[in-house]
Chain A
Amino acid sequence: MSKTILIVGGGLAGTIVANGLCRQLGAQLRSGAVSITMLGASDTHMYQPGLLYVPFGRMREHELFREQSRVLDRRIHYYVDPAKNVDVEKKQVSTESGRTFKYDYLVLATGSRIMPQSIPGMQEAAHWFYDLEGARKLRDALNNFQGGKIVVNINAPHKCPVAPVEFTLMLHEFLEGKGIRDKCEITYTYPIGRLHSLEPVAHWAGPVFEKLGIKSEIFFNTESVDPIGKTITSMEGSVMPFDLLVTIPPHEGAAVISESGLGKGGWVPTNTKTLHREGSDDIFVVGDTTNIPISKAGSTAHFEADVLIDNLASLVQEGRWAREYDGKAFCFIETGFSTGTYVWFNYQTPPTVAPPSQMLHWFKLAYNRLYWLSARGLL
């Protein structure tokens, strides 16, 4: 009997998994022994890391998008019909349009989303660049900004742990370029007791911030924002005035996950090595939506996807397991508009940061283009 692999979510992880499975299961797809279906929320695919450059006018909006049908292998049945409910007992997913899809194997890849509405006043008073609408508004706000206090406020949990540091350094250079840096005060706030969760990044950022005159406040977890008085208050009791508030809002997973009872806050309890949903051997979880305590990043999603492809293809073809995920994560870090660095680590190896260089900045810029090859599974 034909086996159906159903992938929910057509972002980075879901797309890499789908394309990778097509490459490995060519014979089974041809014979009809396997079919692959994907449910997504849009007919376009967005390169999210590109949003970092939008507020500074360094990436045009159209560069962020491709048609999902061009990114996906043609053998995948793609439906723009978001999943509404996942029924793990009946092994089926129902969609917003009322369709029902049965599965033999289910891949959950619904990612994470920003929740500014979860903090009083944040949605009204803050800017962000973690979605397109926010990045556009921030671009306008920065263009009109003539000086004053800027607070860059980071909340937990959030995806891409390095984007806030990159943004802060790029903001400094942007204001210098505009000739108003001396009229601005930048303060960076972070939830825990150092500037970054990655210890070497925190050690490196400290002196860099000092040199650039960027102030910081650690142990700052936002409790509320006052849109009229223009202040932000932390759970720790600090109140900070701002003229421009740029926030990384706290994140949650997709609503379909929590509403189907698959995990509080949309985070699915996931085995850290096999990527199985805890308690199910026919459901895999990949990318931001896992509850695995590692960075929610495209690179993590990519390395997980590679493992998942090998395992799912082996299970279908040979009924055996291929390999385990080792917790690998890798992030390029922009240290300004002309230099960059990177950090990598896994479950066993602590992170280290390479010395920033122009070459590494070019690598990141090159990756901004190569992403489309990586999503297609060619890189």
Chain B
Amino acid sequence: MAERQTVDARGAFCPGPLMELIAALKLASVGDEVEVLSSDKGSVNDIPAWVAKVGHQFVGSTELDGYWSVVVKKAK
């Protein structure tokens, strides 16, 4: 069954939200979703750009109280 995992990368300067997402996707199964919480606005652009490049699916991003939730589905 597809799972949803949340990676809380708020305030994480290193390795940072995209690197955390890449690591989480490696352990996920096809169809699983990974939600990344990030306080870095750059991730809101970086993550969808990278996801499109490698062929995963960008589900969406939401601005919350001073941070962003970015959701990605593992497609392959």
Which A positions have Cβ atoms within 8 angstroms of B? Answer: 118, 156-157, 161, 191-193, 197-199, 219, 221, 235-237, 250, 264-265, 272, 293-295, 327, 329, 345, 347-348, 350-351
Contact = CB atoms under 8 A, between A and B. Distances in A.
A329 B53 CA distance: 32
A219 B9 contact: no
> Does more than half of chain B's interface fall in helix, strand or loop, or is it mixed?
helix
A351 B14 contact: yes
Interface in B6-63: 7-9, 11-20, 22-23, 26-27, 46, 49-50, 53-55
A151 B20 CA distance: 23
Interface residues of B, number: 23
> Does more than half of chain A's interface fall in helix, strand or loop, or is it mixed?
loop
B11 A348 contact: yes
Contacts of B12: 293-294
A192 B19 contact: yes
Contacts of B23: 156-157, 250, 265
Given A221-B54, A293-B7, A295-B15, 7 more contacts: A157-B15, A192-B50, A199-B13, A236-B53, A293-B17, A294-B12, A295-B14
Given A192-B46, A221-B54, A327 B11 contact: yes
The 6 closest A-B pairs by CB, nearest first: A293-B12, A157-B23, A235-B54, A197-B15, A265-B27, A156-B22
A193 B43 CA distance: 11
18 contacts: A156-B15, A156-B23, A157-B19, A161-B14, A161-B15, A191-B18, A192-B18, A192-B46, A193-B50, A221-B54, A250-B26, A293-B16, A293-B20, A295-B14, A295-B15, A329-B14, A350-B13, A351-B14
Given A235-B54, A236-B53, A351 B13 contact: yes
Contacts of A199: 13
Contacts of B54: 221, 235-236
A250 B11 CA distance: 23
Contacts of B16: 192, 197, 293
Given A219-B53, A293-B7, A198 B14 contact: yes
A246 B20 CA distance: 23
